[in-house]
């Protein structure tokens, strides 16, 4: 598994052409909007990294959710794994972008008191960036925005947790409405999020930041 993730990271770094911008008229293939889950207090929505195993993501999503379960007391938690290929196809991030927005909108309609923690690792960070209105076009395995969370849903997003975020390598970051609710980890030398980075292994070490991310989110919910 680690070898495959290393190869994925190397493919990302060496494959800038994979971030080809979709034509404005292109429509990403999407799955149907997910049926609303139970109305918990907090829904943790996680977009895994490229080829990352695990339900929410072995490196980031799963450990972050486990840590949140320990840190958030007196509230019920649910989780949702963004349904998208998480591969090197040109429409992968766009599919995740649309699925994330569809899921959160569906949940917000069915569970008006529910709040959300958005989690994105590597390509999954591109998915989250796009969903909150920060385009990942031009970043490795990025895409133009195909859907954004509407203004009515925005106050329900308690925290945004990003790891190895590819837009940082092209000089971008989360700004504006969601900035104060966002924590964005980029390991020193990680070539996916740091321009000129050369330590591919750094991209695989974000489990070490899961507890800090959960602490940040727990303070927002």
Catalytic residues: 122, 190, 203
How far is it, in rounded angstroms, from Cα 116 to Cα 43? 5
Alpha-carbon span 80 to 103, nearest angstrom: 8
C-beta separation of 165 from 120 below 8 A: yes
- Give 3-state DSSP helix, strand, coil % of the chain, rounded to 5: 40, 15, 45
CA 102 – CA 118 distance, rounded (Å): 13
DSSP H or E stretch at residue 86: none
* Chain centroid, CA 166 distance in Å: 11
Residues 132, 149: Cα–Cα separation, whole Å: 6
Adjacent-strand bridge partners of 183: 161
Strand order in the sheet with 42-47: 77-81, 42-47, 115-121, 157-163, 182-185
């Amino acid at each position: 598994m680690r070898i495959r993730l290393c190869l994925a990271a190397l493919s990302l770094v060496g494959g800038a052409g994979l971030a080809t911008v979709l034509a404005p008229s292109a429509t990403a293939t999407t799955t149907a909007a997910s049926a609303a889950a139970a109305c918990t207090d907090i829904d943790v929505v996680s977009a895994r990294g490229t080829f990352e195993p695990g339900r929410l993501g072995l490196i980031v999503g799963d450990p972050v959710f486990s840590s949140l379960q320990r840190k958030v007391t007196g509230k019920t938690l649910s989780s949702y794994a963004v349904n998208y290929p998480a591969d090197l196809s040109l429409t992968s991030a766009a599919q995740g972008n649309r699925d994330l927005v569809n899921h959160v909108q569906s949940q917000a309609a069915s569970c008006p008191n529910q709040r959300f923690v958005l989690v994105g690792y590597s390509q999954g960070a591109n998915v989250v960036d796009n969903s909150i209105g920060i385009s990942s076009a031009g970043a490795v395995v990025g895409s133009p925005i195909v859907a954004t969370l509407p203004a009515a849903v925005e106050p329900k997003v308690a925290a945004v947790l990003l790891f190895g975020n590819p837009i940082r390598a092209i000089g971008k970051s989360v700004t504006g409405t969601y900035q104060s609710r966002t924590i964005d980890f980029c390991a020193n030398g990680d070539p996916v999020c740091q321009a000129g980075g050369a330590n591919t292994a750094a991209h695989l070490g974000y489990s070490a930041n899961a507890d800090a991310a959960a602490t940040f989110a727990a303070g927002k919910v």
